[in-house]
């Protein structure tokens, strides 16, 4: 959570809605087909803006596979009641108006939803138009928190059976229109606003996917992972697929990240690939130096410690309110850095850096950062967020890993 003590709030708040806004981050929308080769049953893909420092109201795109037909996914996205079922914190999603669309005559009815989100510390309210266009479903936020903004959904069959769907969720929101907390977070560093948008989009995409796969049970609530949280060994973190052919087209579109889930739905780890203009050997050396990790948003200082066992240990001091990320990390080189927290509140948290040739640029390498940050153990705020919405475990790790990788690449 580091720089994102309230990213969880942003993710929960923006999840049911979004809006129309002009931005310097305009790009052609990514189709479900562009993501299909990179998706697996347990791996989601997120494409961030390519810019080292994204402009205001950046667009982030999330893709996930859903066990259900495209028609089933579309029906859920068009039903306001299914949003409430998918997201328990959404206490209201009522149709308060309707209009005939002159722009999309094939799907003429647009409905205005009044929504309210109940989250720790405060509630958020707003209004959004829900509409279907020829190839997408759109929520357009027009009033209240996060206006203007939008979320666009596209669906397509994932295979020839017609029973598995690629769901693509493209989000762009105005975080500064919510309240002072969100304005403060958005101003924290050049990546905070983008990270907030990504967290929101991922929570929404996976909540809809789970609602389609396991329809809401009023007695037990929506389907969520319910096993204990545990980080994998640092040696198990592997970002190599991000440098492979399946991600080639996505790498051209922006900074690509994957969210890996365990068999029971918990976070396995997040990986983010950033291009750096140097050879893979040079990049590996640079990102493996723990002193460079002081670029991570929220890491105030990194100090090497003496070690009697011959390994490398560092003491990290954080500079973020509401969380405890002060820790001692043990680092092994195989050959690039793989690190584990051995002392501190987030004991067991793991990260790894890897470097690969960039297939698209002979003079660049892809540096891949993989993390499981154990933010659930970092303090009361993060713990309560994840207890309230277990999908926040993944969303916060996604936000953090993106910001860490982008910040280090920016420094280099």
Which has the closest alpha carbon to 363: 286, 282, 293? 282
How confident is the model over 316-357, as pLDDT tens digits? 999 877 788 999 999 999 888 999 999 999 999 999 999 999
Determine the distance from the C-alpha atom of residue 54 to the mean position of all C-alpha atoms in its chain, rounded to a whole number. 15
pLDDT at 190 over 80: no
- pLDDT given at position 11: 38
Cis peptide before 148 (omega within 30 of 0): yes
pLDDT classification of 366: cutoffs 50, 70, 90: very high
pLDDT at 17 over 60: no
- pLDDT given at position 210: 95
Q: Which of these ranges, 30-39, 214-223, 263-272, 355-364, has the smallest mean pLDDT?
A: 214-223
Could you give the 3-state DSSP secondary structure of residue 189?
coil
pLDDT at 309 over 80: no
pLDDT, average across residues 362-383: 93
pLDDT classification of 182: cutoffs 50, 70, 90: low
The set of residues, in sequence order, having a beta carbon less than 8 Å from that of 134 and lying 6+ positions away, is 104, 106, 107
Query: What is the percent of the chain where pLDDT is above 90?
Result: 65
pLDDT, average across residues 247-271: 97
Angle between helices 7-14 and 392-411 (to 10 degrees): 120
Is residue 318 within 8 A of residue 302, CB to CB? The reply is: no
pLDDT classification of 188: cutoffs 50, 70, 90: low
Distance CA 255, CA 184 (A): 25
Could you give the 3-state DSSP secondary structure of residue 387?
helix
Structural domains for the chain: 7-38+60-213 (3.30.530.20), 234-411 (3.30.530.20)
- pLDDT given at position 18: 32
pLDDT, average across residues 61-88: 94
Q: Supply φ then ψ for residue 52, to 5 degrees.
A: -60, -40
The set of residues, in sequence order, having a beta carbon less than 8 Å from that of 131 and lying 6+ positions away, is 101, 104, 107, 110, 111, 137, 138, 140
């Amino acid at each position: 959570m580091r720089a994102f003590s309230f990213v969880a709030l942003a993710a929960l708040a923006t999840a049911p809605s979004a809006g129309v806004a002009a931005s310097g981050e305009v790009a052609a929308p990514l189709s479900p087909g562009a993501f299909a080769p990179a998706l697996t049953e347990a791996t989601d893909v997120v494409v961030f803006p390519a810019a080292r420092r994204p402009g205001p109201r950046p667009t982030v795109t999330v893709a996930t596979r859903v066990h259900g037909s495209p028609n089933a996914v579309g029906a859920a996205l068009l039903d306001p009641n299914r949003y409430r079922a998918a997201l328990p914190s959404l206490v209201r999603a009522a149709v308060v108006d309707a209009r005939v669309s002159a722009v999309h005559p094939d799907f003429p009815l647009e409905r205005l939803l009044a929504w309210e989100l109940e989250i720790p510390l405060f509630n958020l309210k707003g209004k959004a138009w829900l509409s279907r266009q020829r190839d997408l479903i759109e929520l357009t936020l027009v009033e209240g928190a996060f206006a203007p903004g939008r979320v666009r959904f596209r669906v397509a069959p994932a295979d020839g059976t017609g029973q598995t769907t690629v769901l693509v969720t493209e989000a762009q929101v105005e975080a500064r229109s919510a309240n002072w907390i969100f304005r403060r977070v958005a101003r924290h560093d050049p990546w905070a606003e983008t990270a907030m948008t990504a967290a929101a989009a991922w929570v929404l995409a996976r909540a809809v996917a789970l609602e389609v796969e396991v329809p809401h049970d009023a007695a037990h609530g929506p389907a969520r992972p319910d096993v204990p949280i545990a980080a994998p060994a640092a040696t198990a973190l592997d970002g190599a697929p991000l440098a492979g052919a399946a991600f080639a087209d996505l790498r051209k579109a922006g900074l690509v990240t994957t969210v890996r889930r365990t068999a029971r739905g918990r976070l396995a780890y997040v990986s983010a690939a950033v291009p750096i203009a140097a050879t893979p050997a040079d990049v590996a050396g640079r990102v493996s130096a723990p002193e460079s990790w002081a670029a991570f948003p929220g890491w105030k200082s990194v100090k090497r410690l003496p070690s009697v066992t011959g390994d490398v240990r560092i003491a990290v001091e954080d500079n973020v309110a509401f969380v405890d990320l002060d820790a001692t990390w043990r680092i092994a080189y195989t050959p690039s850095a793989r690190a584990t927290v051995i002392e501190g509140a987030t004991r067991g948290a793991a990260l790894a850096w890897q470097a690969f040739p960039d297939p698209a640029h002979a003079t660049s390498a892809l540096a891949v950062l993989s993390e499981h940050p154990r933010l659930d153990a970092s303090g009361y705020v993060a713990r309560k967020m994840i207890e309230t919405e277990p999908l926040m475990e993944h969303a916060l790790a996604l936000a953090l890993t993106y910001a860490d990788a982008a910040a280090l690449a920016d420094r280099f």
